[in-house]
Amino acid sequence: SSDLKLTGMFTHFASADEMDGSFFVQKENFQKAKKIVKKYFSNLLFHSHNSAALFRGKIPEDEYCRVGLVQFGYGDSNLKRVLSLYAHRLSQRI
């Protein structure tokens, strides 16, 4: 449709926190796809890395990264959490 405007492309590294090689395979495939897409679409924004992927080596060249759980102190990072949320238990059912 001529009403559809492509503005970006992303991937989700579902296994970035796993130590097998699947993260690196997916990362390489995304880089290949970016090269192809850039030939046909200009000014696209790319984002790929989630919290776990950000700690797996080189900083990505994509425009955006999606930090999620790491901003709450989850994971193996030295980052200072941005929020702590505490609540009292209202009830308990067995």
The residue type at 48? S
Structural domain boundaries, residue 70: 1-94
Percent of the chain surpassing pLDDT 70:
97
- Taking only the tens place, the pLDDT of each residue in 15-33 is 888 888 888 898 899 999 9
Residue 62's closest CA among 70, 52, 53? 53
Q: Which residues contact 30 (CB under 8 A, 6 or more apart)?
A: 11, 48
The CATH code of the domain that includes 32 is 3.20.20.10
State how many domains the chain has: 1
pLDDT of 77 > 70? The answer is no
